[in-house]
Amino acid sequence: MQINLTMRRVVMAVSAGLLPAATALAQEPTVDERLKAVEAAAAGAQTAGDNAWLLACSALVLMMTGPGLALFYGGLVRKKNVLATMMQSFIMMAVITVIWALFGYSLAFSKGNAIIGGFDHIFLKGVGTEPSAYAATVPALTFMVFQLMFAIITPALITGAFAERMKFSAMLLFCTLWAVVVYFPLAHMVWGDGGLLNAFLGGAIPALDFAGGTVVHISSGFSALVCAIYLGKRIGYPKSPVMPHNLVLSVIGACLLWVGWFGFNAGSALGAGGLAANAFVTTHFGAAAAAIGWLVVEWMRHGKPTVLGGISGAVAGLVGITPAAGFVTPMSALIIGFIAGLVCFLAVTSLKKALGYDDSLDAFGVHGVGGLTGAILTGVFANSAINTVFKDSAGNALPSGLLEGNPKQVVNQLLASLVAIALGMIGTWILLKVVDLLVGVRVSGEQEMVGLDLTQHGEEGYNLDLDIVAAGSSMSSVMEPTFAAAPNPVSE
């Protein structure tokens, strides 16, 4: 009996000691709960990383317009038009932002028909911090503002064609209407859910445009050609030379465009993963190869490699690689860039001379021709190992481009390009007619001779005469006592 009592006490003591441990064990999360917590943390980290990347890319793309494009275009015109030219880029940053917020984003990215979106997101309704259907790991607000930066720079590119001769009021009205009539529908067709040209979301023509070869560059470039023809040539062109007034500004602008283009293309991956890395590298390679390609042919034909040629070639390469950046290998990017540099050089020299149009800053020769070249070459070099676009019924990757065994993709690229060209050119011609009737598109001959800075804005980019006068007055006041006190060498 004593033994039983002792054993009972031992059991009770042991039980009392194990109870807290058992209770604690019961409160610890299970393996499934721990896995869910890890997955939630990983998803949160990915969202934070992707969101940070896309916000940074949005800032880079905005930098492409101002100061990048503003400086690039501003340095290429004569000094009497530098402010007016830069203002054309700057004002797009304000105007397009407002109409994008009111209804532009909705028309481009709401679910609608094959041509245009609907009004689900008018006044940014439903666009908040939750992910959108287009980017699963970033807030819809971030995706919206990233796409806004593309909408801003596209009409700004067109202004290079009519630089130095279009009224500011006409430019403002035309670019605003152009964004509504041309850009918003085309953005929906290429990138919107159910768009006609969307290869990922059920488009009837599955074209590939990673970051805007058709949406941005072909549309703006061919629209620029129509503008150049409609407005006619600048006074004295081409008999009187029209030289850039400050290539230093243009070099700075081109370098800012090159840097900003990483946001343009790599940001279009909509995440900070391997696809973004590929787009980043192909963008850089394409620009470098195109700068070399342009300079080589220029050196051979004209005997000197020019600075203007180098920066123009780099921009041509950036344009050419834009539709392909997320679909091709870095080695293919070198080929695409080099070809784009050669083709665009011929466009702004031989083709421009043969047709006789006055595309002031070669918006068509670089963006229209470069965008078309890049779009077609995307169909040639697209690689499913970089980005799987087409799959069979079992989910296996199918060839993407011609070299991989899909020649039909070149046809798709051509059809998409023709849609962009037709919409851009026809829409531009109609809008110019309307704007011309309402406010007139071109400044008077006298205003053109004086310059748009003074006639359109009442300002001058460089007040050099005033600086010289002020400097002369200051110098005289300093030097006069010296002269008075100095000995007269003649009398001596």
How do residues 294-350 score in pLDDT, each as one tens digit? Answer: 999 999 999 999 999 999 999 999 999 999 999 999 999 999 999 999 999 999 999
Question: In whole angstroms, how far apart are CA 474 and each of 25, 465, 468, 481, 484?
Answer: 87, 14, 10, 13, 17
State residue 402's pLDDT score: 98
Three-state secondary-structure class, residue 198:
strand
Of 104, 77, 82, 275, nearest to 182 by C-alpha is 104
Task: Single out the residue of 127, 78, 76 nearest to residue 100, CA to CA.
Answer: 127
The tokens of 244 are what?
């850039």
More confident residue, 478 or 391: 391
Which residues, other chains included, contact 19 with Cβ-Cβ below 8 Å and sequence gap of 6+? none
Which pLDDT does position 202 carry in this prediction? 87
Mean pLDDT over residues 401-418, rounded? 98
Distance CA 424, CA 347 (A): 19
CA triplet 382, 281, 298: central angle to 5 degrees? 85
The pLDDT of residue 268 is above 50? yes
What string of DSSP letters covers 269-291?
A: GSSSSHHHHHHHHHHHHHHHHHH
Quote the CA–CA distance of 288 and 277 in Å, as a whole number: 17
Over 80: is that where the pLDDT of 124 sits?
yes
Question: Would you give the DSSP letter of residue 439?
Answer: T
pLDDT band at 46 (very low <50, low <70, confident <90, very high): confident
pLDDT score at 490: 35
End-to-end CA distance of the chain: 142
Q: Which residue has the higher pLDDT, 53 or 23?
A: 53
Span of 6-15, 88-97, 117-126, 313-322 with lowest mean pLDDT: 6-15
Report the pLDDT value the prediction gives residue 34, as an integer from 0 to 100.
66
Share of the chain above pLDDT 70, in %: 86
Tell me the average pLDDT across 413-428.
Answer: 98
Cβ atoms < 10 Å from Cβ of 91 = 18
Environment class of residue 34 by beta-carbon count within 10 Å: exposed (0-12), middle (13-18) or buried (19+)?
exposed
pLDDT band, very low/low/confident/very high, at 8 (cuts 50, 70, 90): low
Q: How far is CA 440 from CA 169, 434, 444, in A?
A: 9, 9, 10
3-class state of residue 111 by DSSP: coil
Output the six-digit token pair for 472: 């002369």
> pLDDT confidence of 20, banded at 50, 70, 90?
low
Q: Are the C-beta atoms of residues 335 and 278 closer than 8 Å to each other? A: no
Cα–Cα dist 48/264, whole Å: 20
- Residue 467 above 80 pLDDT? no
Mean pLDDT of 266-275: 97
**Hey, what are 234's tokens?**
């600048």
Q: Quote the pLDDT of residue 47.
A: 84
CATH class assigned to 51-457: mainly alpha
Q: Is the peptide bond before 185 cis (omega within 30 degrees of 0)?
A: no
Query: What residue spans define the domains of the chain?
Result: 51-457
Q: Is the pLDDT of residue 18 over 70?
A: no
Q: Which one, of 214, 200, 191, 213, lies nearest residue 144 by Cα? A: 191
Looking at residues 173-189, what average pLDDT do you find? 98
- The pLDDT assigned to 492 comes to 32
Q: What is the DSSP letter of 67?
A: I
Q: Write the CB contacts of 237 (distance below 8 Å, at least 6 apart in sequence).
A: 358
Residue 470 tokens, joined = 């002020």
pLDDT at 205 over 80: yes
Residue 419, phi then psi, degrees to nearest 5: -60, -45
What pLDDT is attached to residue 487? 41
8 Å CB contact between 245 and 75: yes
What's the pLDDT at 10?
Answer: 44
394: phi then psi, degrees, rounded to nearest 5 = -90, 0
Tokens 């494009």, residue located: 69
**Residue 233 confidence (pLDDT) above 90:** yes
Distance set, CA 341 to CA 112, 250, 289, 305, 400 (Å): 38, 18, 8, 13, 25
Tens digits of residue pLDDT in 347-405: 999 999 999 999 999 999 999 999 999 999 999 999 999 999 999 988 899 999 999 99
* pLDDT at 33 (0 to 100): 65
What average pLDDT score do residues 139-163 get?
98
From CA 78, how far away is CA 85, in angstroms rounded? 10
Separation of alpha carbons 372 and 237, rounded Å: 27
Res 488 pLDDT > 80: no
Q: Show Cβ contacts of residue 75 under 8 Å, excluding neighbours closer than 6 positions.
A: 82, 244, 245, 246, 247, 248, 249, 250, 251, 252, 253
Please give the mean pLDDT across all residues of the chain: 90
Least confident range from 43-57, 192-206, 221-235, 339-353: namely: 43-57
Is it the case that residue 57 has pLDDT exceeding 90?
yes
3-state secondary structure 332-385: HHHHHHHHHHHHHHHHHHHHHHHHCCCCCCCHHHHHHHHHHHHHHHHHHHCCCC
299: how many CB neighbours lie within 10 A of its CB? 13
